[in-house]
Chains A and B, each alone.
Chain A
Amino acid sequence: DQQVKQNSPSLSVQEGRISILNCDYTNSMFDYFLWYKKYPAEGPTFLISISSIKDKNEDGRFTVFLNKSAKHLSLHIVPSQPGDSAVYFCAAVDSSYKLIFGSGTRLLVRP
């Protein structure tokens, strides 16, 4: 059973609009979460993270929100740009410091 779930396999948004990628987790012991971005034929690269003691972390156009009671986090990209088109993976760090990834969401930003 997957502990980190990304239920939307794909998302398409217009350039300049907001992209919202969602992630749910099942283990309430997770205390650190990350988003990774992956372009074709490349390895995933770190984008932004959030600790469970916070409910929001912002870095430029990227903001991650954490709702611990709902076991839900989301990544907001605003404004979205065509170069943001990629697969986005949500990940959680467990008690043994392993990163457990979701299945990814493919974002397409249309010009």
Chain B
Amino acid sequence: EAGVAQSPRYKIIEKRQSVAFWCNPISGHATLYWYQQILGQGPKLLIQFQNNGVVDDSQLPKDRFSAERLKGVDSTLKIQPAKLEDSAVYLCASSPTWDTQYFGPGTRLTVL
């Protein structure tokens, strides 16, 4: 069974630029999550989708971050404009229902 796919794996941008990350969950998984992991910390949930609807975006900085899940499968997370403090690893995870979450390899973002 293929795992959660993410791209790109690494991205370096300057502050105030825009960036987008892509995630393809495990086939058949209805729930998709985006986490932010700052160096030295555990992952923190940004947004959670159930199929193509948002069920929790309470910790998403909505003035600069946006996310969508097209047709309930792939998802993109965008940051516009980026700040220095957005430097982190962005992890995507998926689960069949309200169940165990499986994580992708992450995208490491560096904002200069």
Question: Real complex partners, A and B?
Answer: no
B interface residues (Cβ-Cβ under 8 A, vs A): none
A interface residues (Cβ-Cβ under 8 A, vs B): none
